[in-house]
Amino acid sequence: MRNKQKTNPMLFRAFGYMFMLFGLLAGVLGFGGSVRAASLLSKVDFEQELNDPYDFVFFENPGTVTGYVPGHTGYAVRSSHSSDDNRFDNPNGYGLVITTTGGNGNNYWPASDELYISYWIKYEKDYYNPCNNIKWLWTYGDDHNELIFGSQTDTDIRGRWFLQRNNCQAWSHRKAARYWTADYVMGNWMHVEIYYKLSTGANHSNYDGTQWLKVNGITVISDNQVSTGKPGRMSVPSINASGNGYSGCEAGHGWFQLDDYEIWDGIPTSGPDTTPPSCSNSQPTGTLSSGTTQTTISLTTNETAVCKYSTIAGTNYDSITNTFSSTDSTTHSQTITGLSDGNTYHYYVRCQDESGNQNPDDFEISFSVASPPHTVYGLSNFIQLVADWLKSESGLTSDVNGDGVVNTRDLGIMMSNWGE
């Protein structure tokens, strides 16, 4: 029988050090993939102005902006494709367009050869796209991209992404277009994310580039065998290529809103969202006028959330049964009925954001309804009231307490409110 050889622990330790050294070298030399942190190139938050502090983009057709409205966070800009929507101008059916400048150097691509574009868009409920040709992205030059919002239903939005290089089909398997569908209901905010990593090789022509599209965090197109070329300046969004009468099509009608626009030189990394939404701007407050029987309670959150309300303080979010009728955005409202004079009302609100973070504490909305003013009795009205009272006729003005009976209680109220 052969004897088993003893394992030399020093040998295993030596191998361990070798693997650690190889891993370190791989990270430094790039064998293990990029560990570079992405840098922010552009940020437009639309807080009642069109401004990019990084100066990486400029704004085309600013005359289509008709104002700023409560947005995904803070304020959003509001624009339209159609002159029928009473815009200030109508440049070929284009709405507000954000276009890269490369930081005033016409160098539209950073050294990383990557671009990550993120923005939030809301098509208002009456918006419709009659010509299937609203551009979410348009690049200039021979290496040309067109990301298109093509059509809509009650529950989704659909489109296509054309990619051509010198008239060559550039997606993997030599396809010219990729098609996509995403869940979406008009009137809600939608998060659009677009990513490029340029191909290698001469003129970035190898079929090893990457392009993908996400809508509300869901990947709807992804291809890592793309011949990207090197597109020129890029407009994102919102060109309507059919608004100039192309093929007899109309421009998209209705309003859209844009918010929280960013461009990075790679995919930004961040930890998970663990912060619940912040609530503010409770309405109504104070005392409502006597006779008010209904009102609308409302609040604002700093991020998209779904809010609920209870009349019992300290109720956790999942146990609250009343959801605001207008919610799933940053503004939330609900009509309250059955109010009566002389009462105070308290509603305790809790919200949950898109990451599932719930408010641990109540946000209170409270208000009162004023009591009716007291009637002051004097000689001018007291004689008739007493005459009615002596006849014990109910339903007359002498039924002071409104109980349907004229009796000594009414006389006591009249005497206690006697005045000049």
Mode of pairing for the β-strands spanning 294-310 and 322-323: antiparallel
Q: Which residues of the chain are modeled with pLDDT < 50?
A: 1-7, 11-12, 15, 17-35, 85-91, 103-105, 241-248, 393-396, 420
Distance, CA of 64 to CA of 87 (rounded, Å): 6
Domain annotation for the chain: domains and CATH numbers? 36-264 (2.60.120.200), 279-369 (2.60.40.10), 379-416 (no CATH)
Here the tokens at position 415 are 């005497």
Q: What is the pLDDT of residue 388?
A: 58
Q: What is the pLDDT of residue 249?
A: 52
- In this structure, the chain runs to a length of 420
Long-range interactions of 317-324: CB distance < 8 A, separation 24+: 317/350, 317/351, 317/352, 317/358, 317/359, 318/358, 320/350
Name the residue type at position 99.
Answer: T
Q: What digits encode the pLDDT tens for the residues 343-369? A: 999 999 999 988 888 998 899 999 999
Q: What is the pLDDT of residue 394?
A: 44
CB proximity list for 411: less than 8 A, separation 6 or greater = 386, 389
Q: Output phi, psi for 135, to 5 deg.
A: -85, 130
Maximum C-alpha span of the chain = 130
Distance, CA of 115 to CA of 108 (rounded, Å): 9
342: left (phi over 0), alpha (psi -120 to 50) or beta: left
Which of 48, 37, 98, 41 minimizes the C-alpha distance to 78? 48
